[in-house]
Amino acid sequence: MKKLCIEGWRGINHSYALVNQWQILQMLAYPLEIYHRDKPYWGKQWNPETNSSGFPPTAAAAVAAVPEPPSGVRCDAIYRISFPFDLAPGHADRVFVFGTAEKRAIRDFFFGPDGTSDAPKRDNLFIVTPSHWSKAGFEEAGFYAERIHVVSHGVDPDSFFPLDRHERAVVRKAMGIEEEDFVLLSLGAMTPNKGIDALLVAYAILHQRYPHLKLVLKDQSALYGIKAETTLQDVLERPGNKPLFTEAAMAGIRFYASNLDMAGLRKLYCSADCYVSPYRAEGFNMPPLEAAACGTPIVLTRGGSTDDYFHPSMGLQVDAEWIRFDVGNQSGYVLEPALDSLVASVQEVIENQGRFGGVQVSQHVHRNFSWQQCTRQLLQVMDLLAGGRER
């Protein structure tokens, strides 16, 4: 039986930890000896009590039960999924390091040997990343393309699927959403790369045309310390923005900060009429895919990491300009979504309700992006299955 040692985070709701935990749950179904070595959380304030993973108790217990490797054991593969990226040799035949390159600039993201050293030349070191946008960042840092494996993230079909009409009405009523309201949703860290400032301005413009438009922002302030209200205040202080935000528009913005379990997250996705992510830089961007799995139409930036999973039946893409930046020894790219394209895309979804999303899109996501499929590909990449590597 082949042996795999995972070195990473579990027990919290950071994206790396969530990916790790979803993958572990799938790996447990395979004939493998799986071990887990917990790495220190990057944020000193992070902990399972205030940043709970949100998994059901049985799933959380299964993940937590994966033991540390016995002293001296040599594994077939080590899989590292934490930050900073650790490229050091390990007690295994092959070392796989998971990472994302949101801005395609990662030179300061390493613990120990970095991307400019001889580490990328080791023939038993491989990078795992979830999108081709992110892969380009590792290539630009000096890693060989043939040693970078793109393995998509996924969704759990048993956790993210549409509510029926009656259930959805009940959830929306409990949230104070009227039947005629059209709800835009976005969730995440509220950091500049998420483009929430652009979404707020687009919402204010559209609210003048659609008085029943609502905007729901769910932040991760318990993890990152940034509240959605702070982002709104920053937008209001920029020249020319304040007149857009009428009293009625301000009243239509809802803020959520509490941690949600998977069932609560599904209800939030399903309560919305459109999930909007005008991001500037993402390594993958899971929430829009989870929203699409719930049947909710999505609007997101064109040209970035989400191009790997976007399908026209899901919604619309926002035109964006590529912007190169040079800061210190870092050079990279971000995307700047065009405000007029963002406004027009959301308006098209409002005017064509039923055209995007729905049950068929949910089924498409389940068929093509389940964690079962994505984890199997990961195990094939690591040569831990009887069928060998998937190339």
Q: What confidence category does residue 388 fall into, taking pLDDT thresholds of 50, 70 and 90?
A: very low
Strands 320-327, 330-337: pairing is: antiparallel
Straight-line distance from the first to the last Cα atom of the chain, in angstroms, rounded to the nearest whole number? 22
Task: Give residue 259's identity as a one-letter amino acid code.
Answer: N
DSSP lists the bridge partners of residue 334 as: 323
Give the mean model confidence (pLDDT) for residues 185-191: 96
Helices marked H in 103-164 — which ranges?
132-140
Domain 3-154+370-381 fold: Rossmann fold (3.40.50)
Handedness of CA 221, 223, 226, 231 (dihedral sign): negative
Residue 142 near residue 105, CB atoms below 8 Å: no
Asked if the peptide bond before residue 84 counts as cis, ω within 30 degrees of 0, the response is yes
CATH of domain 165-368: 3.40.50.2000
Backbone φ and ψ of 195, nearest 5°: 75, 25
Torsion of CA 367, 98, 49, 60, to 10 degrees: 40
Residue 110 near residue 137, CB atoms below 8 Å: no
Using CA atoms, how far apart are residues 141 and 125, in angstroms rounded to an integer? 15
Token pair belonging to 100: 């994302």
- Selection from 236, 206, 230, 7 nearest residue 99 by Cα: 7
Residue 276: strand, helix, or coil: strand
Write out the residue limits of the CATH 3.40.50.2000 domain(s) in the chain: 165-368
pLDDT for position 149: 98
Whether the predicted pLDDT of 112 surpasses 70:
no
For the stretch 26-84, pLDDT in tens is 999 999 999 999 999 999 899 999 999 999 999 999 999 999 999 999 999 999 999 99
The beta-strand segments (E) located in 56-124 are 75-81, 85-86, 92-98, 110-111
For the stretch 291-315, pLDDT in tens is 999 999 999 999 999 999 999 999 9
Which residue bears the tokens 């390990």? 90
Residue 108: strand, helix, or coil: coil
For the stretch 131-155, pLDDT in tens is 999 999 999 988 999 999 999 999 9
Q: Which residues contact 335 (CB under 8 A, 6 or more apart)?
A: 279, 280, 281, 301, 303, 304, 320, 321, 322, 323
Whether the predicted pLDDT of 236 surpasses 60:
yes
Whether the predicted pLDDT of 331 surpasses 90:
no
This prediction has a pTM of 0.95
Q: Which residues contact 388 (CB under 8 A, 6 or more apart)?
A: 380
Whether the predicted pLDDT of 245 surpasses 90:
yes
pLDDT for position 114: 52
pLDDT for position 387: 55
Backbone φ and ψ of 33, nearest 5°: -90, 110
